Amino acid sequence: MLKIAVIGHPIAHSRSPQIHGAALDSINVEYKYEKHDVKKEDLESFLEYAKSNLDGFNLTMPLKVDVLPYLEGISEEAEKFRSVNTVKVKDGKLYGYNTDSDGYIQSLINKGSDPNQKRIVILGAGGVVRTIAKKLVECGAESVVILNRTIEKAEEIVKYIGNEKVESVEFSIENITANCKAADILINATPLGMEGNDGDFEDTSFLQALPEYAIVSDLIYAPPKTKLLKDAEKLGLKIMNGLDMLIFQAIIADEIYLDKKLDLYEVYKSVLNRI
Ligand code: NAP
C-alpha cells in the first residue's frame, strides 16, 4: 500500500487528498493519504516520522524551501528552482522534486496553448513565478514579461533566469495594458481575487487590449472563476483557472511515488470526473 501525505500550515482546506485519491483510485492503486498541519518549527520531527512511516509527501509554502537542508538528494528541476513540492522516501532517506512547473505546462498544453513561440505576460513575481517563468522559456516562449508591484522581485527573477527573452516591468494598469497588446497568454500569479484574500483587480480594462485569440490563465482555483476570468470570458477570451495545474502537478508527483510513467491526460480526465 502506498502511504503518502500533504503537509503545510494551514492545511485543512487542501484539495490534495481529494485529487491524489481520485488519481490513485483511477489506476487501482491502494493507498493511505494523511494530512498533517506542520509549521516550520515542526518540520524536523515530521521528517523523522515520514522516514519510517511514509512513501512520500507533498509540501506547501514556506516548507518547500525549508525542507532543502534535510534532503539526501534533489532532482535537477528542484535544484534549479531551490524549491521542493514533492518528497519521496526511499530506504529511510528523503529525495526532493518539484512538479509545479511541469504541472503548469501540462495544464496549458491540455487547453491547446503550448507555450512554444508564445508571448507571455505574467502578473506577480512570487515563488510560483520563479518556477513557471523559467520553464516557459525552456519550452520555447518567444517572450516573458513579468510585472510586479515590488519591481526588485521581478528583476531578481529575470536575473536568475538570465535570458534576454525575459524582462521585468512595474505593475500598473498602464504597463499591463501596454504589454497585453502583443500577448498570447496572460497569467495571473498574484492572490488578487482569491477566496479569503482582501484585494481584487478593481480595473480589468487591460483585458480589452489582448488579441482575441489570447488565453487568460489565473493560477487561483478558489473561486473557480475569479473576477479577472469572468471579465475575460465576457470579452470572448479563452480562460483557465489553477485547478488543472494542481491536478497535473499531483499526477506527476504520483508518478514519482510509484516510480512509474502514467498516462497524464487519461488520469487527469478520471480525476476531473471524480472530484
Ligand atoms: P507569493 O510568493 O506570495 O507571491 C505573490 C505575488 O503577488 C507577489 O509577487 C506579490 O507582489 C503579488 N501581490 C500580492 N498582492 C498584490 C496586490 N494587492 N497587488 C499586486 N500584486 C500583489 O505567492 P506564490 O506562491 O507565487 O503564488 C501566487 C499565486 O499562485 C497565488 O494565488 C497562489 O494561490 C497561486 N498558486 C497556484 C498553484 C496551483 O497549483 N494552481 C500553485 C502555486 C501557487 P509583491 O512582490 O509586491 O509583494
pLDDT of residue 199: 95
Q: Residue 76: how many CB atoms within 10 A of its CB?
A: 9
Q: Are residues 197 and 78 in the same domain?
A: no
The arrangement of strands across the sheet holding 93-97 comes to: 31-37, 2-8, 56-59, 86-90, 93-97, 73-74
Q: Are residues 63 and 170 in the same domain?
A: no
Give 51-81 pLDDT, tens digit per residue.
999 999 999 978 999 999 999 999 999 998 8
Residue 17 sits at the vertex; the CA angle it makes with 79 and 251, to the nearest 5 degrees, is 50
CATH number reported for the structural domain that contains residue 85 in this entry: 3.40.50.10860
pLDDT of residue 61: 79
Beta carbons of 237 and 207 less than 8 angstroms apart: yes
pLDDT of residue 197: 83
pLDDT of residue 196: 86
**Residue-number span of the structural domain to which 256 is assigned:** 2-98+244-274
- Domain tally, the chain: 2
pTM for the whole thing? 0.94
Residue 108 sits at the vertex; the CA angle it makes with 160 and 110, to the nearest 5 degrees, is 150
Give 6-41 pLDDT, tens digit per residue.
999 989 889 999 999 999 999 999 999 999 999 999
All residue ranges of the chain with pLDDT < 50 are: none
Q: Are residues 107 and 226 in the same domain?
A: yes
Q: Is the CB of 17 under 6 A from ligand 1?
A: no
Per the structure block, which three cell numbers stand in for 31? 493507498
Separation of 220 CA from ligand 1 center, angstroms?
9
The arrangement of strands across the sheet holding 119-123 comes to: 166-170, 143-148, 119-123, 185-188, 215-218, 238-240
Beta carbons of 33 and 4 less than 8 angstroms apart: yes
Task: Pick the catalytic residue from 64, 88, 134, 135.
Answer: 64
